[in-house]
Amino acid sequence: MIGSGVIGLTTAITLAEAGTDARIVTAARAHETTSHAADALWGSTFAGPADAVRRWAEVTRDELRAQAGDPRTGVRIARGMLAGRTTSDGPPPFLFPGVEIARRDDVPAGCLAAFSLEVPVVDMPRYYLLARFEAAGGTIEVRTLRALADVAGEARAIVNCSGVGARHLVPDSEVRPVRGQHVVVENPGLDEFFMEEPAPRWASWFPHGDQVVLGGNADEGEWSMEPDPAVAEEIVRRCAEVEPRLGDARVLEHRVGLRPARATVRVEAEPLGASTCVHNYGHGGTGVGLSWGSAREVAALLGS
């Protein structure tokens, strides 16, 4: 298994709990990955393949709902608001399959419409994936790979969950980084999450206990992992325009991640020397939302 983000860990857990001897090779430990920096709201994506993506989203929705029954997992079912500045239409149904979305009367200033929904939300630093993987007997080796050929033949099956690293590791020029930055602040008393329709810049916040994760931005082709003070200031300003209490909240942390965007999520098998390589990458900003479904797809391809 290559990669220790949410896709790598959920796939490794799925295989390990099915009885496979699973080992993760990763250049970055779980707390150093893009997944650690995520919001993270369950939902689907505009990327293809449409039928498979919907199936993966539904499988993941049900798994996260089950996990939300145990507070130790870091998963909960949260109520929140989606708001539109350029349209009064609600989100396309395929983005939140199987979830009731209701129009709201309390529309924020500057928005044309707002909608309520209840969906799984994950506090990523508390998400229990690493502990669950280790409990299943899995092991992790920190090692930087230059190419997939570096691990060819090390195991019967190699699962490539390298995220944006797949651009160079495979190599796959269809993968591109979409940089995201978040500001984590003390919670001034918020219960519900909030998210405007995604654009290059938008306002969003996700309360996790005594902290709130503020966003968001999507900077295509940017590779920098250093927090940008100007972007951070802009994030806080946009959020405070909707919820003034956030403007005075004490900043606790800055997070940056590179979403592995691709027109179609790649889950498929191919030969790799004497091994079989199953690719599982390109989930963009919906790694959490598709994680358990695509992991089970990998297990099916491997006959596990």
For 215, other C-beta atoms within 10 Å of its C-beta total 25
Using DSSP's 3-state secondary structure scheme, residue 282 falls into coil
Residue 89 has pLDDT above 80, yes or no: yes
Please confirm whether the linkage preceding 49 is cis (ω < 30° from 0). yes
Does pLDDT of 199 surpass 90? no
Which among 189, 293, 286, 196 is positioned nearest to 242, based on CA atoms? Answer: 196
Average of per-residue pLDDT values in the chain? 95
Two structure tokens written together for 245: 């209490």
pLDDT in tens, 241-256: 999 999 999 999 999 9
Indicate if the pLDDT at residue 68 is higher than 90: yes
Taking residues 2-12, report their average pLDDT.
97
pLDDT digits (tens, 9 = 90+) for 223-233: 999 999 999 99
Range of lowest pLDDT (24-28, 56-60, 80-84, 262-266) = 24-28
Q: State residue 35's pLDDT score.
A: 81
pLDDT at 9: 97
Residue 218 confidence (pLDDT): 95
Residue 28 scores a pLDDT above 90: no
Could you tell me the pTM of the whole model?
0.96
pLDDT of 20 reads: 95
Local confidence band at 198 (pLDDT 50, 70, 90 cut-offs): confident
Q: What is the pLDDT of residue 138?
A: 96
Tokens of 64: 């996260």
List, in order, residues 6 or more apart from 285 with CB less than 8 Å away.
38, 45, 178, 180, 218, 259, 261
Q: What are the phi and psi torsion angles at 110 (to 5°)?
A: 90, -5
If one compares 193 and 36, the residue with the highest pLDDT of the two is 193
Quote the pLDDT of residue 31: 73
**Using one digit for the tens of pLDDT, what is the confidence trace for 284-299?**
999 999 999 999 999 9
In whole angstroms, what is the distance from residue 177 CA to residue 300 CA?
Answer: 28
Q: Kindly indicate the confidence band of residue 16, based on its pLDDT and cuts at 50, 70 and 90.
A: very high
Strand partners, 261: 176
Give backbone dihedrals phi and psi of 172, rounded to 5 degrees, phi first.
-135, 105
CATH, range 6-301 = 3.30.9.10
Distances (CA, A) of 271 to 24, 222, 276: 19, 32, 5
* Token representation of residue 81: 């608001």
User: What's the DSSP call for residue 18?
Assistant: T
Does the pLDDT of residue 123 top 90, yes or no?
yes
Whole-number pLDDT of residue 200: 87
> Average pLDDT, stretch 64-92?
96
Per-residue pLDDT, 144 = 94
